[in-house]
Each structure stands twice: as structure tokens, then as C-alpha cells.
Amino acid sequence: MSATRRRTLAGAFGFTRLIVELGVLSSFAFSLGLFVAAIAQAYVTIRAALGELGQAGTTKTLIVAAVEQADTLLVGVALLIISFGLQALFVGRVQNVPAWLHIASFDDLKQKLIGIVIVALTVNFFSVALEWKGGADILVYGAAIAAVVLAVGAYSVVLTRQGLARDQDTPHDPPGPADGSGRA
């Protein structure tokens, strides 16, 4: 392969990193926007509820708003995890994030998102159930969410098993000396 062709390929890969970085920034911006929107909505809802304390329905209104805020925040967290994950996988490791957020592979990113999606779906169903007025439509909605959660859960199990199988196929470093110091 000629030097010119290698530089062209290196430039193409560099451009790919730029595109991923733009995706990282847009995901982060949406996450930030959702957090700000949730905070603003909480302020407006609580302020309105303070004037109606003791009236019928105020507590339920606050509960529904709190659950909806949790749903919004979970979607924001999912976008934040996507942002951190793509940054770590394609550009470079993100500093000053909790240990649980360190993403070493695409499978790590998918597993973290699966957990968030399942919780977000559950919170969403809870929000709908709180506002339910009767009828069988909630059963259909609940069954649909349950089907998605089961499918995502099954996918997560398969993903975990594939990761374990890969880990078993990968040779590990030999252990250090018997004293556990890690020095040879």
C-alpha cells in the first residue's frame, strides 16, 4: 500500500472520529436539554401545587408529575450514557466519571442502555397507570411494554453469555508472584 493511500485512509478515519464527536455533542446537548426541561417543569408544577395544597387532586397531580419527570430524566441519562460511551469508544476515555460509567466495549454500552430502557419503560407504564380512568386499554399497553421488556431482557442475557464466552476464549495474563505484589 502506498504512503498516499495510507494517508487518505488515515484522513477518512480521522473524519469518522469527527462525525462521532458531533454525535457525542448532540447526544449530550439533548441530555442537557431534557434535564433543564425536567427541572423547569418541576418548578412550574410545584409552584402551582403550593397554591392548591389541601385541594382534591393536588397530591395525585404531584405524583404524576414526579413520575413523568423521572421518565424524562431517565431518557436524559440514557442520552448521557450514549454520549459518554461513544466518546470512550471512538475518541478517547472520558475523565471524571463514576467507575460504573467507564465503557470498554460496545457491548458494555448496550448493557448499560438496556438497563435504562427497561427502567424507563416501567416508569412510563407507572405514569400511564396513575392517570388510568378504567377500561381494558391499559392491559394492552402493559402487555406491549411487558413484551418489549422480555425481549430486551432476553437480548441482554444472550449478550452477557456471548461476552462470557469471548472472555473464556481470550487468554489472560499469567498471575504475578505468590506474594501478590504484582512485581516479577
Q: What range defines the domain where residue 79 resides?
A: 13-169
pLDDT for residue 169: 67
Cα–Cα distance measured from residue 122 to residue 114, given in angstroms and rounded to the nearest whole number: 12
The domain tally of the chain equals: 1
Does residue 183 lie in a domain region?
Answer: no
pLDDT for residue 122: 86
Does residue 90 lie in a domain region?
Answer: yes
Give Cα separations from 52 to 46, 66, 68 (angstroms): 10, 17, 20
184 residues of the chain, pLDDT tens digit each: 666 766 676 666 777 888 888 999 999 999 999 999 999 999 999 999 988 887 888 888 898 899 889 989 999 999 999 998 998 888 887 788 888 888 888 888 888 888 888 888 888 888 888 888 877 788 888 899 899 989 988 888 888 887 767 766 665 554 444 444 444 3
Does residue 177 lie in a domain region?
Answer: no
pLDDT for residue 95: 81
Does residue 3 lie in a domain region?
Answer: no
Cα–Cα distance measured from residue 40 to residue 72, given in angstroms and rounded to the nearest whole number: 12
Instruction: Look up residue 100 and give its DSSP letter.
Output: G
Does residue 25 lie in a domain region?
Answer: yes
Does residue 165 lie in a domain region?
Answer: yes
pTM of the model: 0.70
Does residue 51 lie in a domain region?
Answer: yes
Instruction: Look up residue 160 and give its DSSP letter.
Output: H
Does residue 182 lie in a domain region?
Answer: no
